[in-house]
A and B are shown apart, each in its own frame.
Chain A
Amino acid sequence: MIELNNVSMKFRMANDRIMSLKEFVVKKISGKIKYKEFVALNDVSFTIQEGEVVGIIGGNGAGKSTLLKVISGILTPTDGNAKVSGSIAPLLELGAGFDIDLTARENIFLNGAVLGYSKKYLIDKYDEIVEFSELQEFMDIPIRNFSSGMTARLAFSIATLVKPDVLIVDEILSVGDAKFQQKSSKRMRELINGGATVLLVSHSIEQIREICTRVVWLERGKIRMIGNTEEVINSYLSYSNVNTQEESNPTDLLKYTEKLYTPTYINKIDNQYFIVDCWHHRVIYNNNLLDPIKKWKTVNGYFSIPHTIASDGQAYLIEDTKNDKVKVLQKMGNAFNETQLIGDIGGQPHKIIYDNIYKRFYGISASSQEVFVLKNDGKDIIKEKVVRLNYLGTAYVRALSLIDGDIYFVSGPGKITVAKSSDLSFDLIREYKVPDEFQGMNDIVKIGSYFYLSVYQNANGDIKPRLVRVKDLDHLHNDYEDIYDTLELKGVPYYFSFIDDRVFITEIDSYSTVKSFKVVDDQIVDLQVHYDCGVPDEFSKKRRKMK
């Protein structure tokens, strides 16, 4: 645990640094010593719990490195105090204490000692260090003869051997050539995910976004903002962007987090509710449906227009639709962190579902009409099959649904398509023609004896939201029942989901809600509105445009 109480760090800078006694005496007597006070940290307080991964962001000279030095005990704060429990491993700079005249072997022990390892530990781990650095043949050569890349590799291999309680990382995540960079960034990840409390300073917002559960934004020595990664980073980015024109208020920019904008999907996994807040580019979660949206926590990472979340209980899959990727997350402690990124699965992955019987995920890439099958091999999510389905033509296929063991695709080109999924052949079984007004379908489910269809656009592409149900899909032309008003809808009904004994439907675009109802003997009863966020405000619209 790290606790900072009103920490201030002031440096007294003489206008010229006085380096000689004579100068000092002369200036002291003549009263010419003028000090400028420089406040590197100004009344900084926060607490970091065990196991948290906290990022520190801010411009140059914001006080980030000073903060790390205060926490690691190198600097004593002018005011306030910093309490740290547990062993600290500073990873501040690679190769601290390397002596170029010593051989690599000798440097391992010297540097290891500097980093606080015991002799026994170093002897035990010696082979591991050498192996990781891939410098076996060079161990008895003075490192003066090493290239900078080799030195960095050696240093990295030693420094990342730690198993500390508190890990401090200042901008080093990968070194060496391309191959070693991969290896080293993997090692960094292992280290960070190893359960230690981590403090990471980085100028790479992407890294922070991926790794950290919480972010501290420092500016001119003060905490400008502290909190959830997404929120802080978003305000930081928009602040940096608009900084030149106007002093914008970060709390304004965060107002969107109190609402939903186009919630495409709601799901309950492992007693946790997830809402995919599509046009806010985020996925949020909470353990009940009663808390206001601003109380919900945000899944780590930035998702560009995500649509659904699916899980086998271990891995959580969310589409990064605009980037043609699927992100795999895992629960670590109280947070969800990205562990894998899956690409090459077609254009705009749009919906993923989990097949409980065959223990695999099916996904549909909307703009390339490709279906992808993913499997959890216990460690990683692997691609089992990616195939383009020619019978879907050039339609924008928003959804696939498992109904009675077969897969239903909507929208095919003017039709609903049923395909065989059990043997992964995706052979066409049958098709249902749909009338013009239902051409742009969002989702299809079967509840009781009815098929339920949500619709976005008509054949001309005009937004004409519909929600209908029908017993036989062949009678879609004449025998459907319109239930749009029954569910008191105002926007576009989107994806259905089944949670406990209720059916959930999300409402998007012009009006955002999350609703649920029960179906008893094909009667819709007990309609509940969980979240009614109404028409989007300017903050939501701003957020939607943000990249």
Chain B
Amino acid sequence: MLKQTVAFQSKYGFLLSQLVKRDFKTKYRRSVLGILWSLLNPLLIMVVQYLVFSTLFRFDIPNYAVYLLSGIVMFNYMSEATTQSMTCIIQNASLINKVNVPKYIYPFSRVLSTGVNFLLSLVALYVVIIVTGMGITFSHIALLYGIACMFVFIIGISLLLSSLMVFFRDTQFLYSIVLTIWTYLTPIFYPESILPSYMIKVMEFNPMYHFIRFIRFIILHQGIPVPKAWLYCALFAILSLVIGAYVFKRNQSKFILNL
């Protein structure tokens, strides 16, 4: 495994870094603020939602700004990365037709390039954490675990979606609806407490619910989540990766015939 990783890194690491660089560069090329948007975007969404939900709906959540922003940052990464990865095989058709490199490199590079965005919005999150006067403790190290699990989860979903997309172009429209539903099914801007009990049960099957809850617990309660929460995160990450990788691997040789 390690040997393979090293071999891959030496052979395709450069290509991967170039693909990530390209995605990132072209995203903000010709915009005035450029990379700053990665910081501003989640902040602005947070401000709008903060105003709407804290004044209009009067959710009574302590540190609502951080609560909101942590959810937005996590969920945005997932939705952006998967949406971007979904079309990557199709968009790179000309390359796939010509150069023989492992095809998973394309969704992987998309997840990484949106990951750079994610890291920048994490900076925005920390700015808000500090501004609102919340402390940063050693327990924040556990965030890495939550983020890593979500990262693996996203890769799995990306592999699945990008292969589905090759065969059924409807996937992208379907998925945008799924994403909307998913947003509402995840407690991003509302508190868990308003959910009826049966919805809490349903929530158990929502991976994003677990990831967001995991990191919120660390940030807002400044403690370490219970072992069950760790387990849930790992479970969903691995499940998603296994399914995604299986579907991708099974079908990748047929991609070229459908591009």
Within 8 A of A (CB), among B166-188: 168-171, 174
Q: CB of A86 within 8 A of chain B?
A: no
* Interchain CA distance A110-B20 in the complex, whole Å: 10
User: Residue B14 contacts which of A11, A90, A96, A119 (CB distance < 8 angstroms)?
Assistant: A119
Number of chain A residues close to chain B: CB under 8 A: 34
Residues of A within 8 A of B95 (CB): 96-97, 114
**Is A74 a contact partner of B22 (Cβ separation < 8 A)?**
no
What is the distance, in angstroms, from A115's C-beta to the closest C-beta of chain B?
7
Q: CB of B193 within 8 A of chain A?
A: no
* Interchain CA distance A110-B169 in the complex, whole Å: 28
Interface hit among A19-27, A45-53, A402-410: A19-27
What is the distance, in angstroms, from A113's C-beta to the closest C-beta of chain B?
4
Q: CB of B257 within 8 A of chain A?
A: yes
User: Residue A19 contacts which of B14, B15, B19, B168 (CB distance < 8 angstroms)?
Assistant: B168
Q: CB of A228 within 8 A of chain B?
A: no
Q: CB of B139 within 8 A of chain A?
A: no
Nearest A residue to B95 via CB reads A97
What is the distance, in angstroms, from A26's C-beta to the closest C-beta of chain B?
13
Number of chain B residues close to chain A: CB under 8 A: 29
Q: A19-B169, A22-B170, A119-B14 are in contact. Are A74 and B99 (CB under 8 A)?
A: yes
Q: CB of B18 within 8 A of chain A?
A: yes
B29, B100, B101: residue with the most chain A Cβ atoms closer than 10 Å: B100
Main secondary structure of the interface of B (DSSP, over half): helix
Q: CB of A102 within 8 A of chain B?
A: yes
Q: A106-B25, A110-B18 are in contact. Are A90 and B169 (CB under 8 A)?
A: no
* Interchain CA distance A92-B95 in the complex, whole Å: 10
What is the distance, in angstroms, from B99's C-beta to the closest C-beta of chain A?
6
Residues of A within 8 A of B19 (CB): 110, 113
Within 8 A of B (CB), among A62-87: 69, 72-76
**Is B168 a contact partner of A21 (Cβ separation < 8 A)?**
yes
Q: CB of B96 within 8 A of chain A?
A: yes
Residues of B within 8 A of A97 (CB): 92, 94-95, 99
Nearest A residue to B100 via CB reads A73
Q: CB of B26 within 8 A of chain A?
A: yes
Within 8 A of B (CB), among A105-120: 106, 109-110, 113-119
* Interchain CA distance A519-B169 in the complex, whole Å: 85
**Is A109 a contact partner of B18 (Cβ separation < 8 A)?**
yes
B-contact bits for A87-109, CB 8 A (1 contact / 0 none): 01010110011010110001001
**Is B170 a contact partner of A20 (Cβ separation < 8 A)?**
yes
* Interchain CA distance A42-B168 in the complex, whole Å: 30
A-contact bits for B74-103, CB 8 A (1 contact / 0 none): 000000000000000000101111111100
Residues of A within 8 A of B22 (CB): 99, 102, 106, 110
What is the distance, in angstroms, from B249's C-beta to the closest C-beta of chain A?
12
Residues of A within 8 A of B256 (CB): 74-75
**Is B15 a contact partner of A114 (Cβ separation < 8 A)?**
yes
B-contact bits for A14-33, CB 8 A (1 contact / 0 none): 00010111101000000000
* Interchain CA distance A283-B17 in the complex, whole Å: 53
A-contact bits for B1-39, CB 8 A (1 contact / 0 none): 000000000000011011101100110011000000000
**Is A74 a contact partner of B96 (Cβ separation < 8 A)?**
yes
Within 8 A of B (CB), among A171-223: none
Nearest B residue to A114 via CB reads B99
Residues of A within 8 A of B170 (CB): 19-22
Q: CB of B137 within 8 A of chain A?
A: no
**Is A115 a contact partner of B14 (Cβ separation < 8 A)?**
no
**Is A90 a contact partner of B18 (Cβ separation < 8 A)?**
no
Residues of A within 8 A of B100 (CB): 72-74, 88, 90
Q: CB of B55 within 8 A of chain A?
A: no
Q: CB of B197 within 8 A of chain A?
A: no
What is the distance, in angstroms, from A141's C-beta to the closest C-beta of chain B?
13
Residues of A within 8 A of B99 (CB): 74, 90, 92, 96-97, 114-116
**Is A113 a contact partner of B25 (Cβ separation < 8 A)?**
no
* Interchain CA distance A327-B22 in the complex, whole Å: 49
**Is A113 a contact partner of B15 (Cβ separation < 8 A)?**
yes
What is the distance, in angstroms, from B97's C-beta to the closest C-beta of chain A?
7
Nearest B residue to A110 via CB reads B18
Nearest B residue to A93 via CB reads B98
**Is B253 a contact partner of A96 (Cβ separation < 8 A)?**
no
Known: A90-B99, A102-B26, A113-B19. 8 other contacts (CB 8 A): A24-B168, A72-B100, A73-B100, A74-B256, A90-B98, A96-B99, A110-B22, A115-B99
The 7 A-B residue pairs whose C-beta atoms are closest, nearest first, are A113-B18, A73-B100, A113-B15, A76-B253, A96-B98, A101-B26, A92-B98
